[in-house]
A and B are shown apart, each in its own frame.
Chain A
Amino acid sequence: MGLTYEFDWGVLWRYPYGMWLLKGLGLTIAIGMAAWIIALALGILIGTLRITRYRLLRWFGTAYVEVLRNIPLLVQLFFWFYAGPMLFGETLSRKINHISGLNIWVSIIGIGLYTASRVAEHVRAGFASIGRDQYQAVLSTGMTQIQMYRYVIIPYALRLIIPPLTTEFLTVFKNTSIAMTIGVAELTFQSYQIDADTFHGLEATTGAMFIYLILGITVVKFMNIVEKKYKIQGLVGR
């Protein structure tokens, strides 16, 4: 009977499919890393804006977080991809639409901006867990607001929020799979390609699953090292 499914795990490494998966993984890592850099830098900035003394900056920070975290990432990616270039006016948008690999850039920026809103909230939680006298102690030595955040409060808060940041870092890589919807040939996309080419989607998807798992565990291991290195003496933990 022709209905029995014959497993062919060879699609995971046979030419050209193994190559496809590897290329997909490469793109997944590249987009994830780039998006994470945006998320971390912007997230720290926005999180800081949310607690500054300046009302306008606070308002901007809050607006950013609420808009970005309340719209599904998929919708955001579609928006940036289809409508985003138009924000720059007609002539410029035509140029932007001709950029090669535009969808990759859009996914980096889209995932980065979205994740920044989440990082910002963790950063804010970190700030909130530092007592008021600690801020005042820094200022009492003559340091400015910016120096206070730059040298004491942000380094301190980041150390406090390493565990939730690890989760965000992982999520960035997982969210790159959404980029396939705007045609980015990342890992999930490639596993679909293998399915289309060989009808062995089961193996391809399982393969992709394991690759994501290994990638995730690697990130966790890396973050464990970071956590150990930057652990604040005397806080609970190993």
Chain B
Amino acid sequence: MIEIKKLNKWFGDFQVLVDVDEVIERGQTVVICGPSGSGKSTLLRCINGLEPFQKGDVTVDGVSVADPKTNLYKLREKIGMVFQRFELYPHMTALQNITLAPMKVRKWSRRKAEEKARQLLERVGIPDKADVYPANLSGGQQQRVAIARALAMEPDYMMFDEPTSALDPEMIKEVLDVMIDLAKGGMTMLCVTHEMGFAREVADEILFMDHGRIVERGTYEGFFNNPKTDRAKEFLAQILD
């Protein structure tokens, strides 16, 4: 379970997160949407401690991210993360990208790590790309390798930071299919995305953020058919355009 309690964060004088509260239960998929600059990505990075915050707390399975005694490296092992621009290691093949963390962090043997990596490549639909370098993969393929890389650590949670925003339309589906499959398989997921089709299919809850606050929350139907705030109505009108 991830609990976010009165989370506040500033970049200098600028407040990026304002009193964010949220509870994500095991097995849930939560979709976060909102205009750019609303703090969505920063929120994800506060959850796994990649960004420090000044007030409030986040606990992951009861472990506090704000507590200086918490080993954040250990914590991150169970929270996989996928980035907008894939962020694969360009000097390594797809397979090497996936096996690095299990071998160095979990101390798995190469054999075990590669076996797992090949299973994951199979699962994301590109078993034949193991020995290919990222630059020779399409965007959709790169993102699927990135998902496999995160899954290789066998995380309990997965966070997606606009995973399809940098993709051509025809590649979006191949990535979303993998994500939908994951969500249906019971993975606990936090997804910053504007893919409303994805939200409709798997989201247990949708959060709408604006200016660092969660201004609206609800189920897909609730949010989509009956947005309460004008800001959300405006936003929906824009992305559905």
Give the B-binding residues of A (Cβ under 8 A).
Answer: 131, 133-134, 136-144, 147, 151-152, 155-156, 159, 230, 232-235
Contacts and interface: CB of A to CB of B under 8 A. Distances in A.
27 contacts: A131-B85, A133-B84, A133-B85, A133-B87, A136-B50, A136-B83, A136-B87, A137-B87, A139-B50, A139-B76, A140-B80, A140-B81, A140-B150, A141-B100, A141-B101, A141-B105, A141-B149, A141-B153, A142-B105, A143-B100, A147-B104, A152-B100, A159-B91, A232-B90, A232-B91, A234-B90, A234-B134
A238 to B, nearest CB: 14
Contact of A156 (B48, B77, B89, B146): B89
B45 interface: yes
B235 interface: no
Interface string B60-98: 000000000000011011011101110111110000000
A151 B133 contact: no
A64 to B, nearest CB: 28
A200 B49 CA distance: 70
A142 B90 contact: no
Interface string B122-163: 000000000001111000000000100110110000000000
Given A136-B50, A151-B104, A234-B135, A143 B73 contact: yes
B146 to A, nearest CB: 8
Given A233-B134, A234-B90, A142 B83 contact: no
A159 to B, nearest CB: 6
A233 B136 contact: yes
Given A141-B100, A232-B135, A234-B133, A152 B89 contact: yes
B147 to A, nearest CB: 12
A134 B152 CA distance: 18
Contacts of B74: 142
Contacts of B76: 139-142
Contacts of B85: 131, 133
A214 to B, nearest CB: 32
B100 A137 contact: no
